[in-house]
């Protein structure tokens, strides 16, 4: 594959996540008009938003495993088509039931894109896997910033809200057409095909190091998602109820958090593998996230919250979750699709369970929600330390362990 073709394929893959970022917030941004369309309260629209997590969990692991066999391109295309059905379905849905089904399609589309895109990027850039994966987060964050501006513009002009959905459909259709002519790299699973037949008779087992790393990194997939997801959902409420800010300043904390997220992605993409290895970045990001959360809880003031929100955005939402996937894929290099499925199933569980837990905690205290996030961040630091320690195991020790496992 030529460098030009590699760049064209990469652009198509990233463009999907620009639209994905818009899809993440498009229901919340149009909550008022959608509640009227479906004749429900805002809580009904929120219930539809939760359906995205269900759809994601339904197919992610299976899609990841099939991606290793059927190829990456087919799942990227499937993700585009399914997302198109979501956008059209929401606009045409007459009630919450139909909209809920469309929301499930959006979650499935996200899973299809993840199962094809992450492994494809790691195969396109084997020497820059972490950077390639982190840039996905950058494009999604840009989409999350652009969509509210588009919705605000439509509202100001008194135009139909559905144009924001149609705009996403147009982008997806154009990208689907462009993607048809794009080349994808050979599957990394193919390199394992020959060795698999040779090794089948010896019943090769995973080493103890691989097993521990797999478990810890899967847990990290849950923790990394939970850490920043909790902040993004409750930061405004924390600012208004605990810090006693007015609604404008409380919402500003989320904006500062989003800017920090984009800057964090850029900094990480520039420095990872050039200055710091992904495992070291994991540790630095999780430690800084923990410190920022502690400051946010212990010093509930406007200035402290502003700085903490920015730091949390840079670290917890600045690509550390993608770094964990990169490290896990290095541990299991011939099963990138399956690993992506396992890792993001864990993160999907976080997006499904964290709202339930925090809703229960909020009955007692909003501040306790942030203390809960401090505990989650502390577990993230522990996971990072374990991964770093195992990654530094000398090569001869790993080989000796592997031989013992074969005996």
> Which value, in Å, is the radius of gyration of the alpha carbons in the chain?
21
DSSP 8-class letter at 272: B
Per the structure, how many domains does the chain have?
2
CB atoms under 10 Å from CB of 307, counted, come to 17
CATH code, 78: 1.20.1250.20
What does pLDDT average to over the chain? 86
Q: Which residues contact 274 (CB under 8 A, 6 or more apart)?
A: none
214 and 136 share a domain? no
- The answer on 271 and 212 residing in a single domain is yes
Does the structure show a pLDDT above 80 at 201?
A: no
Question: Is the pLDDT confidence value at 246 over 90?
Answer: no
* Cβ atoms of residues 376 and 226 within 8 Å: yes
CA torsion 168-170-172-174 (nearest 10°) is -150
Alpha-carbon span 311 to 239, nearest angstrom: 16
- Residues with Cβ within 8 Å of 399's Cβ and at least 6 positions away in sequence, in order, are none
Does residue 44 surpass a pLDDT of 70? yes
Q: How far apart are CA 228 and CA 246, in angstroms?
A: 23
Banded model confidence at residue 131, pLDDT cuts 50, 70, 90: confident
pLDDT at 190: 55
> Which of 196, 217, 250 is the C-terminal boundary of a domain?
196
Regarding whether 295 and 191 lie in a shared domain, the answer is no
237 φ, ψ to 5°? Answer: -65, -40
> Does 1 map to a domain?
no
Residue 212 lies in a domain: yes
Instruction: Tell me which residue has tokens 């902040």.
Output: 231
Report residue 256's pLDDT band, with 50, 70 and 90 as the boundaries. Answer: confident
**Measuring CA to CA, which residue among 342, 118, 119 is closest to residue 211?**
342
Q: For 349-390, how does the pLDDT look when each residue is reduced to its tens digit (9 = 90+)? A: 887 788 778 878 888 888 999 999 999 999 999 999 999 999
Write the DSSP assignment of 309-332 as a string of letters: HHHHHHHTTTTHHHHHHHHHHHHS
Is the separation of the CB atoms in 371 and 296 below 8 Å? Answer: no
Instruction: Say which residues have a Cβ less than 8 Å from residue 128's Cβ, sequence separation at least 6.
Output: 273
Query: pLDDT value at position 308?
Result: 96
Residues near 232 by Cβ (< 8 Å), separated by ≥ 6?
254, 257, 317
pLDDT at 195 over 70: no
Report pLDDT digits (tens) over 23-40.
988 887 787 899 899 998
Same domain, 165 and 234: no
**Range of the structural domain that residue 295 is part of:** 205-407
Q: Closest by alpha carbon to 369, among 237, 222, 245, 248?
A: 237
Say which residue, 361 or 109, is predicted with more confidence.
109
Q: Name the pTM for this structure.
A: 0.75
Tokens of 315: 């670290």
How far apart are alpha carbons 119 and 160 in whole angstroms?
Answer: 38
CA atoms of 104 and 110, how far apart (whole Å): 10
Distances (CA, A) of 163 to 24, 26, 83, 368: 16, 11, 16, 40
Q: Residue 134's pLDDT is what?
A: 84
Check whether residue 36 and residue 143 sit in a common domain.
yes
**Is the confidence at residue 397, as pLDDT, over 60?**
no
Report the SS3 class of residue 277.
Answer: coil
Residues 297, 171 share a domain: no
Q: Residue 39: how many CB atoms within 10 A of its CB?
A: 10
CB 74 within 8 A of CB 68: no
How far from 284 is each of 280, 281, 385, 388, CA to CA, in Å?
6, 5, 10, 11
pLDDT tens digit sequence for 54-107: 888 888 888 888 888 888 999 999 999 999 999 999 999 999 999 999 999 999
Is 4 inside a domain boundary?
A: no
pLDDT given at position 253: 84
Do residue 30 and residue 122 come from a single domain? yes
Q: What is the pLDDT of residue 233?
A: 73
| pLDDT of 197 higher than 50 | no
């Amino acid at each position: 594959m030529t460098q030009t073709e590699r760049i064209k394929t990469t652009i198509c893959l990233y463009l999907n996540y620009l639209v994905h970022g818009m899809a993440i917030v498009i229901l919340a941004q149009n909550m008022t008009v959608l509640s009227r369309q479906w004749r429900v309260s805002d809580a009904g629209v929120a219930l539809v938003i939760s359906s995205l997590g269900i759809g994601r969990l339904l197919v992610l692991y299976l899609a990841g495993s099939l991606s290793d066999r059927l190829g990456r391109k087919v799942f990227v295309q499937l993700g585009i088509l399914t997302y198109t059905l979501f956008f059209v379905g929401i606009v045409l849905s007459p009630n919450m039931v139909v909209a809920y089904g469309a929301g499930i399609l959006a979650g499935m589309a996200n899973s299809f894109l993840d199962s094809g895109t992450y492994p494809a990027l790691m195969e396109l850039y084997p020497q820059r896997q972490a950077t390639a994966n982190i840039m996905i987060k950058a494009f999604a964050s840009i989409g999350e910033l652009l969509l509210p501006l588009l919705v605000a513009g439509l509202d100001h002009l008194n135009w139909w809200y559905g144009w924001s959905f149609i705009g996403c459909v147009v982008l997806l259709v154009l990208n689907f057409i462009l993607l048809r002519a794009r080349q994808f790299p050979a599957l990394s699973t193919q390199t394992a095909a020959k060795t698999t037949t040779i090794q089948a008779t010896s019943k090769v087992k995973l080493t103890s190091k691989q097993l521990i790393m797999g478990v810890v990194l899967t847990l990290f997939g849950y923790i990394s998602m939970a850490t920043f997801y909790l902040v993004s959902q409750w930061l405004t409420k924390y600012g208004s109820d605990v810090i006693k800010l007015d609604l404008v300043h409380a919402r500003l904390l989320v904006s500062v958090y989003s800017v920090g997220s984009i800057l964090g992605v850029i900094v990480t993409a520039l420095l990872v593998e050039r200055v710091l290895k992904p495992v070291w970045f994991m540790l630095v990001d999780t430690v800084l996230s923990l410190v920022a959360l502690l400051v946010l809880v212990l010093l509930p003031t406007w200035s402290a919250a502003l700085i903490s929100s920015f730091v949390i955005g840079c670290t917890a939402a600045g690509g550390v979750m993608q770094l964990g996937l990169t490290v896990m894929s290095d541990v299991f290099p011939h099963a990138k699709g399956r690993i992506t499925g396992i890792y993001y199933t864990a993160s999907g569980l976080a997006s499904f369970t964290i709202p339930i837990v925090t809703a229960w905690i909020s009955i007692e205290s909003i501040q306790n929600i942030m203390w809960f996030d401090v505990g989650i961040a502390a577990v993230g630091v522990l996971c990072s330390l374990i991964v770093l320690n195992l990654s530094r195991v000398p090569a001869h020790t790993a080989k000796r362990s592997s031989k013992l496992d074969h005996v």
